Structure 1
């Protein structure tokens, strides 16, 4: 009974990490994070995306959990790259994958963290839920001075409150997030400097560097009753180096999100796209691209280069630990792209390398 209880807690923590709680219940009520005018994607309580499907309900989650036949992961999946020790500043562009969807972006003399998750688990609890199978690609103590932190959404594998509080206390960066996430972030340190924006909003970081928030086919949830009460986004960074488009999580949908980025900003020089957490497709397709979808997105964007993340660190879904990278190679071959055009990064790997 004790083992079953622990497995139940671990399973629940995994589902919560993915935002798979909240369901269709608690439709009415108040939003604890954000109060603002109704818009084409906010009904006064909840946000919704341009292609928002029906919320999964408890029966969907139970169906997945009861019938899971996923491929087991190893307890350790070490990166072939040593932990990075970044330079203090970079004039051009230097990117390193910290792990999962966490990056350090050094561009135009600024240091920007995206979705920094440095904890041992991506979970609301420290004793259960997805456990990292490789250490962060940069140790917290080896980070250069951090000027800004970008948070795409509030799922636990993207918004790691304890890590963000430590980064804030050490570096005092500007934190940029979609609407409603400031209330969550300040719950970890009420002195944190957070600026929120809606889709279409921008933050000017000076010297030709700006951050723009764009839509994604995803959702948010931090607990049992707050589904879609904080906004989620993708980011576009514009700088003297060029356009860098970053997606934390999204479904491909009909592709309009990627076409709109290309039309507004031009073809990106770089796109950092998720390639993992996609099985089973009946459950994940609306919110997580698989590698074939990501290659389609690359084509829609007409991006010069892509880097793949959201794989190989936390086991969230049913595919094996190496399957996303293998499937990415096959998808690139099928689309006629050279494999070096879209690299599946490992923690500590630097681009350009």
Structure 2
């Protein structure tokens, strides 16, 4: 979730404040501000002090914050103004030219050997060797601490959260709002018994939101957890974290999901890194990779991969089938809505990489991936 996301949220909040100011100290104006601010303190999550209790001792934690192993490529100061101008003048670029087609999934009673249901953005259900892994579930209307301001969904959720089959584990990549959602977490706590496996520090957010401590497993990079017959390995990613003004108090990660017979890789949210080749050498090859392809920009190459880099990372990992995530649902970049998947498919064809692009909600077994081009009509 790059600078543009925070800029848009700030712009939305500024608009709300301006409207309230115009209304004056009226009930309507005060109500507008109250709705924008409602729930924000809780959504921000745990304090830095609570997070630090589990972060201390990590090789990635230094001076009170987590750091990437690669030096960051910092946005030039002069570029901040140009980014803000682009945010304010971009119009409808990044939105689909019509309703996004949705599919209400039908899940079998018994999980498949290898199947995927993509719900939009980075939320997906991975079926592997008879178990179900729910990754980065976000069911709220906005990727924001506020229910009134911030990036809003470009399509509805394809299925209600309580209509999902029982899941064996919930896997979180990092604490940005488009990957970790308070309302969704609370529903999952009430509606399932699945443990949450998360990077270091993210567990403090969950415990602050009422997730029982025994259902939270926190891992550093290279740490592993065993859930039923699955081995989950927390692996390196190149990104950042933060739910407020302070960045990098919690760790970000990609994930290796290994069953008795199959392996999958979930990239979460990341820029390209040579660590993918190391992960592929240690844990690959993978039958399936889910890799982010959207919200890329030259100003934040170490935050988000572009589509061509996703194909490269897939090759580094020894991937079989590539399923793109982190696109189509929240408008967090400056590119056109369908540009990421068009570029991905072109690069995949050039390099002979197998790609599956499901519609939001579409479940498929990896041996029979969807082939329909449903996105070009919305360009």
Structure 1-normalised TM-score? 0.84
Residue-by-residue CA offset, 1:193-218 (whole Å, 9 max, x unaligned): 211010011110133x1111001000
**1:14-93 to 2 correspondences below 5 Å:** 31-35=49-53, 36-53=55-72, 60-68=79-87, 70=90, 72-74=93-95, 78-93=99-114
Query: Given the alignment of the two structures, is residue 151 of structure 1 paired with residue 164 of structure 2, yes or no?
Result: no
Aligned partners of 1:83 and 1:136 also within 8 Å = no
Whole-angstrom distance in 2 between the partners of 1:63 and 1:74 = 21
Whole-angstrom distance in 1 between the partners of 2:340 and 2:243 = 26
User: Which 4+ runs in 1 deviate beyond 6 A?
Assistant: none
Tell me which residue corresponds to 1:314: 330
Tell me which residue corresponds to 1:259: 277
Structure 1 SS opposite 2:61:
coil
Determine which of 11, 21, 46 is the counterpart of 1:8. 11
Aligned partners of 2:293 and 2:325 also within 8 Å = yes
Query: Given the alignment of the two structures, is residue 349 of structure 1 paired with residue 362 of structure 2, yes or no?
Result: yes
Query: Given the alignment of the two structures, is residue 276 of structure 1 paired with residue 298 of structure 2, yes or no?
Result: no
**1:100-249 to 2 correspondences below 5 Å:** 100-191=121-212, 193-207=215-229, 209-225=230-246, 227-249=247-269
In structure 2, relative to structure 1, the CA distance for the partners of 1:31 and 1:169 (3 Å cut) is: same
Aligned partners of 2:162 and 2:191 also within 8 Å = no
In structure 2, relative to structure 1, the CA distance for the partners of 1:61 and 1:150 (3 Å cut) is: farther
Aligned partners of 2:96 and 2:337 also within 8 Å = no
Residue-by-residue CA offset, 1:117-151 (whole Å, 9 max, x unaligned): 00011111111111111122332121111221001
Residue-by-residue CA offset, 1:30-55 (whole Å, 9 max, x unaligned): 64412244443211511111114165
Aligned partners of 2:94 and 2:334 also within 8 Å = no
What's the CA shift for 1:343?
2.4
What's the CA shift for 1:187?
2.3
Larger Rg: 2
What's the CA shift for 1:58?
7.6
What's the CA shift for 1:75?
7.0
Aligned partners of 1:247 and 1:272 also within 8 Å = yes
Matched residues, number: 325
Question: What 5-or-longer segments of structure 2 have no aligned partner?
Answer: 1-7, 17-46, 370-379
Question: What 5-or-longer segments of structure 1 have no aligned partner?
Answer: 14-28
Whole-angstrom distance in 2 between the partners of 1:291 and 1:266 = 21
In structure 2, relative to structure 1, the CA distance for the partners of 1:11 and 1:58 (3 Å cut) is: farther
Whole-angstrom distance in 1 between the partners of 2:321 and 2:71 = 28
More helix by share: 2
Whole-angstrom distance in 1 between the partners of 2:57 and 2:326 = 32
In structure 2, relative to structure 1, the CA distance for the partners of 1:349 and 1:79 (3 Å cut) is: farther
In structure 2, relative to structure 1, the CA distance for the partners of 1:84 and 1:266 (3 Å cut) is: same
Tell me which residue corresponds to 2:320: 304
Structure 2-normalised TM-score? 0.79
